[in-house]
Amino acid sequence: MQTYHTPLDLVRERSPERPVALVRPGVVAVAARWFQDSFQGDVFYAVKANPSPWVIETLAQSGVNSFDVASVPEIELVAQHAPGSRMAFMHPVKSRRAIAQAYFDHGVKTFALDTHEELQKILEATGGADDLSLIVRLGVQAEGASYSLSGKFGVDMWEAPSLLLAARRATQDRMGVSFHVGSQCMRPTAYQAAMAQANRAIVRAGVMVDVVDVGGGFPSVYPGMIPPDMSDYADSIHRGFAEMNVHEDTELWCEPGRALVAESTSILTKVELRKNDALYLNDGSYGSLFDAAHVKWPFPVKLFRGEGDAAQEVEGPLKPFRFYGPTCDSLDHMPGPFWLPEDIQEGDYVEIGMLGAYGVAMNTRFNGFGDAETVEVGDAPMASMFGLAGRNIRLPRERQEEERKVVRLSRPKGAAGKKGRKR
């Protein structure tokens, strides 16, 4: 991978024609360190958030050697880039062939399930193996997530006890529970509440569990979505765990995706045309901007202008813009608002930050676009949960609640300067 000190250096050296993913492995390493130091349990990286080889390799080098995978290609990816690491197949619905390949070809022993039928499939496809770790995915009621992940998977709380009992009887090895409070969870107490629900199911089933897996959902920071401190999440989980009826050796696991990678990557895009407040970019919803289009997240932005040594970062006065991507689909629209200098024009470069999770991972080749190149840069992310951002968009704790309510609804008109630009 080519390396540049900053995104501006890249613009100066070669005015890229196609979108460029700007990646910061050091930022992933810092997030990995935080989880290992602050989470009192095992950390599995949810590969789907960003399956780039450099991410897998950086995590493995940083001590995160466990991976939450959902398909055979993800298993092969991890086997190739983090050989010898532990994998958990946490998709509750798998083909028999995928289960067999995971178990026999890759030594995967941990499988999630949320039905009796899937339990039967796992037992049959592994030839009645007696060394399986079986994790029952519970459908908990959780509040505070920006993306719900409980509609599709998870056994109902009233059906959970019989499934827990069946899983307990099916393995000599570990049996456990997992849940997912939803992605970008803004409320730390959601974990403690979910653990209380999991505990009720365990007690009702009258089983002992060996694993409590609190899933993913750990947030990152985006304009208008400024979460409480990461330590509040760890505290809520540790409190929840202490209140559960589990044995002394029960293991605590988590499966962060977003929080480990979101900050690490930005995208450098080029303005192909401006029509009033609409900017037509060379990347869009079929590239790295899925969330900007489909859940309308207003990612943070920076503007670079000029060529060669004359290229520079341009700041204020700012105006709200919306983006269109390069495909012919009118759904390829990112409403923002994205606050950029009001004189932005064709040929300018817009760096869009915080796209390391579910951004670069979602890239398609639709309409002949999506062929983005990847380079490494050494500057700080645009925002950080881990104290890394040069110009941090985090706010003092007492203002967070207020900010959450206000930012999406009304933005100061004509906001100018650094402060407005970053929000």
Ligand X SMILES: *Cc1c(COP(=O)(O)O)cnc(C)c1O
Residues interacting with ligand X, by CB under 6 A? Answer: 46, 48-49, 68, 90, 180, 183, 215-218, 255-259, 357
Maximum alpha-carbon separation in the chain: 70
Cβ-based neighbour number of residue 258 at 10 Å: 24
Q: Give least dist CB 375 to ligand X, A.
A: 24
Distance separating alpha carbons of residues 215 and 204, to the nearest angstrom: 22
**Which amino acid type is present at position 46?**
A
Q: Minimum distance from CB of 379 to ligand X (Å)?
A: 24
**One-letter amino acid for residue 422 of the chain:** K
Query: Do residues 188 and 233 lie in contact, with contact meaning Cβ atoms separated by under 8 Å?
Result: yes
Instruction: Output the residue with the shortest Cβ distance to ligand X.
Output: 216
C-alpha angle with apex 257: 256 to 262, nearest 5 degrees?
120
| CB 253 to ligand X: min, Å | 10
The end-to-end CA distance of the chain, in Å, is 31
Complex with ligand X: residue 3 or 148, whichever CB lies closer:
148
Q: Is 301 within 8 Å of 281 (Cβ atoms)? A: no
| Helices 53-61 and 72-81: angle between axes, nearest 10 degrees | 50
Between 22 and 112, whose beta carbon lies closer to ligand X? 112
* Dist CA 132 CA 125 (whole Å): 12
Report, in Å, the least distance between residue 220 CB and ligand X.
9
Q: What minimum distance in Å lies between the beta carbon of 318 and ligand X?
A: 30
Which lies closer to ligand X via its Cβ, residue 211 or residue 271? 211
Q: How far is the CB of 143 from ligand X (least distance, A)?
A: 15
Q: Rounded CA gap, 246 and 250, in Å?
A: 6
Least Å distance, CB 106 to ligand X, is 18
- What's the token pair of residue 260? 């480990």
Comparison of 183 and 285: residue with beta carbon closer to ligand X: 183
Closest by Cα among 45, 22, 40, 12 to 231 = 40
Q: Which residue lies nearer to ligand X by CB, 19 or 154?
A: 154
- Give the pair of three-digit tokens for residue 4: 């540049």
Q: What phi and psi, each to the nearest 5 degrees, are found at residue 169?
A: -75, -20
| Residue 94, Cβ density class (10 Å: 0-12 exposed, 13-18 middle, ≥19 buried) | buried
Q: How many CA atoms lie within 13 A of 31 on its CB side?
A: 29
